[in-house]
Chain A
Amino acid sequence: MTDDTLPVPEDQPPQMPQTTVAWRTLLWRISTTSISDLGRGKSKHGRNVDSVIDAANLPAELATLIQVVVRATRLWQSERVDVARELACHFRDGLDAGNAPADLEQQFGDSFLAARLIRQSRIRCRPSWWFAWRYSKLTVALLFLMYGGIAARFFLSRPTISRFYIHEINDNVRAVPEAQRAWPIYRDALKLLKPYPKLEQGQSQELAEGWWATESNLVDHDSLAWTQMLSFVETNRTAIERIHEAARRPDRGIIYGHREDNLANRSGDYTPVIEVLLSQVQEMRTFARLLTADAAVASAQRKRDRLAKDLQSLIAIADQAHGHWVVEDLISTAIMQLTMSTIRDSLEDVPDLLSDDQLVEIAHRFAAYRGGGTIRFDLHGEQLLLDDLLQRCYTDDGHGNGSLTPEGLKLLRKLPGDLWGEKNESSTKIVTQTILAPAVMLRSMSRRESREIQRQLFAEVQSAHSGPWYTWSTWDPAEDFFQKEQQRFAAGKRPDLALIPAFSIPRLFFTSIAQCNSAAEQLCQLRDGTLTAIALELYHRRHGDWAQTLEQLVPHDLPELPLDRFTGQSLRYRIQDGRPLVYACGMDRQDDGGRHPNLLAGGGIQHQQLFTRPATEPAPGAGYDWVLFPRPRRAPQERE
């Protein structure tokens, strides 16, 4: 269709340049065309509806009718001009045929209906790009609307906190009679505790860092350090007695976040599990170190009952320290290791000090610690922590499911984890992330899915490391699980972000689960080595000579042969320089003749490598064994 012809009334010439050349110049066309029509590639070169109607020289009522209809169509300017021109021509023809204006107006019909129909039909004539643009706009608007709805749902959602786990745990503690709770007495002991004396200039820094507790009986008994430790122990005699009293209590009695414990800076039963500080149990390690020092003094001064009492209390404190969380279990494990170190030193330095009955009783308590056998951290507290975090992140539909909330996303952002990237981000990035947050919610795991994955994770980790070292098929089952799930999610076209609710929380503690299980394995190996040392001493007392083989200890002194947890065979044993030597092979699984790393000449690292992940060749700890008895120690002269 062309619109080059223009109705030109004789009495009203259009405003245009004088020359034909000027009339057709592009500049003129552009200058007289609206921007909207230019944008559509249309040029009306100076015409508008009014000029077209005027040019037709129609009666007023017909001119008004055209104006009303054309205006009501709300079409593009060029389309309106076209319609107006056609209608004007139509009326002009009608008038020329002798029709009265009123008749033509009546024949026209309903002007607004006409406008609507004309609009609909003219729009159908528009180019395809216009429809593409229109539907694109509609689609975008619809998407925005949908996203707005999703965003509103997301930003208005709130987590449903239905359980207060700390409150439940504390309620169980409060149900125990006050007279059976240990912690109130420990709290008193803590108040009575005097600090370790200030070190003299030049004194070994190791003493200040707690070596006095673990290797105190190696200190030269004429040295200033030993004198200071004696003074320290005696100064704290009252506190030590209180600790013994507390250790005899059957229940630990720690109320998390108790306001009287200024150690715990958070108070209240309704604190999120993740924010509860376990400072009380940290203090139990301090008590254990003090008792270890007291045991060293008792051993040096050959005070049998005092040593036995210290050992019994140490085991009791280790039992009490064992609680809900891995951190508590690790502290409990550390206290047990201190205790086992103390008795092994005692068996080596003053073998005849403890009586048979005392040794047997201590051995039975060692064997009964955490039920005996393979000791594992049950991760009960961590499961509570995850459940608590889930309920603080998700809504609850009443059937165990729900969606991620803004509060949850904010909480997850606070947690460590490489899935989130940098923590210190620009405000622009934060705004972007806020805008994208509803999309994250859409793609992230549901509450049920997150919980299910966490349950699987717990089950797989516990299953993979349920046995001794030599049965482990993987060092880090949690990381294996994470990678497997990430691959599964990638295959399902779900982004890493979707994994955040389920993964960022467990990664808090599962990244070190192998180390935790390894620590538990070390404790099992130490326990078996210590029990073997006690059994050897009891055998020696009965027979006046050392057993030639470990088999001779079974079943009178040991129920079964002690296990080398690295190899699955029995512990290695031989008599060396008239003294028994008990050892395990270490991670290289090779018998190196009971050669323990020299703790002075970088042997500390090699000692650690005995328990390190066997990922390199040669295996870490190669060439060395883990000597369990006598305990590898630095000689006093080496310490200087």
Chain B
Amino acid sequence: MRVDRELMRGAGPVAVLKLLESGEKYGYELVEQLEQRSKGVLAMGQSTLYPMLYNMESQGLVKAEWRESDLVRGRKYYHLTSKGKKRLAADLQQWAALVQAFGSLGILSSDANPTLGGATP
């Protein structure tokens, strides 16, 4: 199941920030992990991911760095900044509140887990 574009607009950045919380990653790695760990729900193509990363970079949430790889070519790695960490924490709180509210309305089941990677805010 794929998430609607509008929903993805809100969820995508949180998901990417969350993935970067565990360490720096390059673009393809992010695409792969989003698809695999969300079971395809949060899968996004390059046309969505890279503009999102550039936007987050412009907001100072992530920082990019070209680095040599073992494949004799450079890769651009993204890692969270302190501002990005704060944003992630705030976003997770909001999502938790949202899930709780949805749960109280019976929209979500009580065992729904809003986090990627298992970390609960």
Contact = CB atoms under 8 A, between A and B. Distances in A.
B47 A89 contact: no
Given A1-B65, A107-B46, A114-B46, A120 B51 contact: yes
Contacts of A107: 45-46
Contacts of A86: 27, 50, 76
Given A5-B74, A117-B48, A118-B50, A90 B28 contact: yes
A109 B55 contact: no
B47 A7 contact: no
A110 B51 CA distance: 13
A2 B66 CA distance: 6
A92 interface: yes
Contacts of B76: 85-86, 89
A92 B71 contact: yes
B115 to A, nearest CB: 26
A121 B51 contact: yes
Interface in A501-534: none
B62 to A, nearest CB: 11
Contact of B27 (A2, A90, A114, A118): A90
A552 to B, nearest CB: 106
A108 B58 contact: no
Contact of A124 (B29, B47, B54, B75): B54
Interface stretch (A93-101, A446-454, A474-482, A611-619): A93-101
Contacts of B57: 125
Nearest to B73: A7
Contact of B32 (A6, A85, A97, A118): A97
A87 B46 contact: yes
A56 interface: yes
A102 interface: no
A118 B66 CA distance: 18
Nearest to B27: A90
A272 B42 CA distance: 82
Contacts of A117: 47-48, 51
A108 B46 CA distance: 5
Contacts of B71: 92, 96
Contacts of A110: 47
B75 A114 contact: no
Contacts of A67: none
A111 interface: yes
B111 interface: no
Identify the interface centre among B54, B65, B66: most chain A CB within 10 Å of its CB: B54
Contacts of B26: 89, 93
A96 B48 CA distance: 22
Contact of B52 (A85, A97, A121, A122): A121
Nearest to B76: A86
Nearest to A92: B73
Interface in A56-102: 56, 83, 85-87, 89-90, 92-94, 96-97
A179 interface: no
Contact of A87 (B29, B50, B53): B50
A11 interface: no
B28 A94 contact: yes
A138 interface: no
A113 B67 CA distance: 28
A125 B54 contact: yes
B68 interface: yes
A5 B46 contact: no
B28 A5 contact: no
Contacts of A124: 54-55, 58-59
B1 interface: no
Identify the interface centre among A109, A110, A121: most chain B CB within 10 Å of its CB: A121
B72 interface: yes
A68 to B, nearest CB: 12
B99 interface: no
A56 B28 CA distance: 15
Contacts of A114: 45-48, 50-51
Contacts of A108: 45-47
B72 A8 contact: yes
A109 B66 contact: no
Nearest to B28: A93
B47 A111 contact: yes
A111 B50 CA distance: 12
A402 to B, nearest CB: 51
B75 to A, nearest CB: 5
Interface string A121-137: 11011000000000000
Contacts of A93: 26-29, 75
A110 B47 CA distance: 7
Identify the interface centre among A90, A113, A114, A125: most chain B CB within 10 Å of its CB: A90
Interface in A399-439: none
A5 B47 contact: no
* 10 shortest interchain CB distances as A-B pairs: A114-B47, A121-B54, A109-B47, A117-B51, A124-B58, A93-B28, A109-B45, A121-B51, A5-B74, A125-B58
30 contacts: A1-B64, A2-B66, A3-B66, A6-B74, A7-B73, A8-B72, A83-B50, A85-B74, A87-B46, A89-B27, A90-B28, A90-B31, A93-B27, A93-B75, A108-B47, A113-B47, A114-B45, A114-B47, A114-B51, A117-B48, A118-B47, A118-B50, A118-B51, A118-B54, A121-B54, A121-B58, A124-B54, A124-B55, A124-B58, A125-B58
